[in-house]
Structure 1
Amino acid sequence: MYLGFWAVSFSAGLEVFSRTGDIRTIDVIYTLLFNLPMVFIVSVHSFHLLPNYLAKSNFWAYGITLLCLLGTVFPIYNFSFLILADWLFPGYYLVGIYEPLEVIGFGALYLVLSSSLEFGHSWFESLQAKSKIVELESEKRVSELKALRAQVNPHFLFNSLNTIYSEALKKSDKAPSLILKLSDMLRYVVDKMEQEQVSLEEEIEYLTHFVDLHKERLNEAEKVHFSTEGNFSGKHIAPLLLIIFVENCFKHADLTDDDARITIHIKQGEKELTLHCKNSVYKKENRMAESSGTGIQNAKRRLDLVYDGKYSLDINQHKSLYELTLKLGIG
């Protein structure tokens, strides 16, 4: 960066100090001697004052040191032309032509130009760093979402296979149709797992098959109430998100009492999707509380990543009832 700066400075100096229009050796020497004090103050300013004082917000020390630095410009200028010139170039008679205030003015101009270059370079690097951070955060977010979505599949497969296994043990005629239904659901999981958004209609259909599958394993399937309301056409949602809450109902429900129920209702309003789940829980052993809650925490994390600020999740648990309401901003 500074090599280019000094190359431009030297070229400009040659144009200014050349009195004949042709670049002569003496013009090159004069320009070199003139730039020596400028190189000194710019180097000290860039590599010492900026990082050690200004970057650390030590403004008083920076200001005082800057004034002292400018005070060295004319002495170094005189040294270049009165002593250094005779020593390095004895065959030439060279004399400084500028007054002290003029030399200090040149020094101030060089500091302003070099500082602008430094600040511009730092600003560009800062933008690159911020862009890199954003890119890394985006990659991390995508990777985390993929990992969270992948956690859904084992839960789903385990519970569904248990249902089919119980039917197979009974040599039930339902087993083949249940296997076919599970196959369709697995195909959906495989096809939609990596997508950012899926059709809400397809997601509702997937949930319907899931509930139907679990109804088959219950002795009192009439205690499960699953209903939908509203127009799901043209709407989209993050895949395999609602299944975690629905699955949770079956996993922890107690249907042994006559008045026990699992109620799942999904409603699509004008700008909001509402999932309301309610299920009876064990009175003596509060299994919902004892559960590690991995699935719910998984869902919450996905909601934070995908619908941050656009959802609400309300969970209420009483002695024998667990109730959950999720609202998503899906218009």
Structure 2
Amino acid sequence: MPLNTKVGDFLNKTGSSSNYGVKYWHHIIFWGVYFLFNTLRWSGIHDDFLYSLKTNLIGFPIHIILAYFNVYFLMPRFVFTQKYLLYTGYFIASLITMLLVKYNLTYYLAGTDVWPEGPVETTSLTLGYAVQTMIGEVYVVSFFTAIKLTIDWLRESSRINDLERRQLQTELRFLRSQVSPHFFFNTLNNIYSLTLEKSDKAPEVIIKLSELMRYLLYATKKRKQNLTSEIECIQNYIDLERIRFDDSLQIDMNISGELNKCKIAPMLLIPLVENCFKHGASKNIGKMHIDMHLEVSNGFMTFKIANTIPNATKSRDLPTRAGGIGLSNVKKRLELGYRPNDYDLTIFEEDNMFNVLLKLKVI
């Protein structure tokens, strides 16, 4: 493999990412701009562009070698493993090595006065020259290291955020997948009850169920669904329950507002409606009342549903039905799918009615 290919692979590997990606040509641009800036700056200080060009041509390979040696060799092996004394020792040794290399190259290639900006002519390796040169190297290495660490931090933050987002999406899909089997379980129970009674309503229930299945199979795959589709699903579910309970159930529905452009997480309201039947109608002896209001205004949907609280004494003797997800599922899905300021869920009892009030941003 050619040398330039190996260098390109190394630079891409050490600085690439789907986010905040750093390619080899980014390194070239960075050092090229830095070299040009430094050459022009020192040419003004020395009042000698040619000398500044020579010294920077000598100094910049040393800057680059020391910077990459520190970032990609010393820090991973010693700083990230908390071997700070070894890191300090190796770093100082590398500075001294680079000092000797730079002094000799400058002396023989640029001029015998290796420190023109110094207080006196410097033709030997003095303490002042050594300290000044090493401080300059530390400055360059620190600047490059700060950029590298910042990019790494941004990349890691992006990776963590992406991982959290994927985990949330997975959890949301899991919660949505819980709703469908739970919903079908209760609906099939209704059909079972009708078949035991040999009711003529069973075919109608099966048709309604097929419509619900069609909606659930496709709606739950989407992050957001049209509010009108969700309302149609609720209406189908209520129609099924009306068939089952006949005249013992009174349902009042009131829907208003501009619904067409509104979006909502699929199957978010169904568990709230389902709870009214599961914990209200199915456990109540006598008349049962469910009151549902849905209104869209100023980009927010207000959904209130209430059911009669069953008589505890009478409901004790009724068989317990398996389930459920209900309110806990709705709460979790709201937490994962919406920002805190985009919804408000209130649950309370009032006038022998169990109430759930949800205000949700739908535009």
Normalising by structure 2, we get a TM-score of 0.65
Write the distance in 1 (CA, Å) between the matches of 2:140 and 2:350: 71
The equivalent residue for 2:285 is: 256
| CA RMSD between the two structures | 4.5
The equivalent residue for 1:294 is: 325
User: What letter is aligned with 1:298?
Assistant: N
**1:293 Cα deviation from its structure 2 partner:** 6.9
The equivalent residue for 1:135 is: 162
Q: Tell me whether 1:266 sits opposite 2:294 in the alignment.
A: yes
The equivalent residue for 1:112 is: 139
Q: How many equivalent residue pairs?
A: 285
Write the distance in 2 (CA, Å) between the matches of 1:319 and 1:265: 17
1:73-92 residue CA offsets vs partner (Å, 9 max, x unmatched): 69x759x97xxxxxxxxxxx
1:3-50 residue CA offsets vs partner (Å, 9 max, x unmatched): x99x99xxx9xxxxxxxx9xxxxxxxxx79xx6xx969x969x948xx
The equivalent residue for 1:316 is: 348
Write the distance in 2 (CA, Å) between the matches of 1:324 and 1:103: 76
Q: 1:292 to 1:314 in 2, by over 3 A?
A: farther
Runs of 4+ in 1 over 4 A off after TM superposition: 95-98
**1:231 Cα deviation from its structure 2 partner:** 2.6
Q: 1:319 to 1:111 in 2, by over 3 A?
A: same
The equivalent residue for 2:309 is: 281
* Structure 1 unmatched ranges of 5 or more: 13-20, 22-30, 59-64, 82-94
Write the distance in 2 (CA, Å) between the matches of 1:188 and 1:43: 59
User: What letter is aligned with 1:325?
Assistant: L
**1:122 Cα deviation from its structure 2 partner:** 1.1
Write the distance in 1 (CA, Å) between the matches of 2:156 and 2:326: 36
Q: 1:96 to 1:263 in 2, by over 3 A?
A: same
**1:111 Cα deviation from its structure 2 partner:** 1.0
Q: 1:292 to 1:209 in 2, by over 3 A?
A: closer
> Residue 358 of structure 2 aligns to a residue in which SS?
strand
Q: Tell me whether 1:157 sits opposite 2:184 in the alignment.
A: yes
Greater Cα shift, 273-282 or 184-193: 273-282
The equivalent residue for 1:62 is: none
Write the distance in 2 (CA, Å) between the matches of 1:246 and 1:97: 85
The equivalent residue for 2:174 is: 147
Q: Is this contact kept in 2: 1:211–1:226, CA < 8 A?
A: no
1:190-229 pair list within 5 angstroms = 190-229=217-256
Percent identical pairs in the alignment equals: 29
Write the distance in 2 (CA, Å) between the matches of 1:73 and 1:114: 14
User: What letter is aligned with 1:195?
Assistant: K
The equivalent residue for 2:24 is: none
1:224-235 pair list within 5 angstroms = 224-235=251-262
**1:102 Cα deviation from its structure 2 partner:** 2.9
Write the distance in 2 (CA, Å) between the matches of 1:266 and 1:43: 63
* Structure 2 unmatched ranges of 5 or more: 1-10, 15-26, 33-37, 39-49, 51-57, 105-111, 116-121, 317-321
Normalising by structure 1, we get a TM-score of 0.70
> Residue 226 of structure 1 aligns to a residue in which SS?
strand
> Residue 312 of structure 2 aligns to a residue in which SS?
coil
Write the distance in 2 (CA, Å) between the matches of 1:255 and 1:230: 33
Q: Is this contact kept in 2: 1:255–1:261, CA < 8 A?
A: no
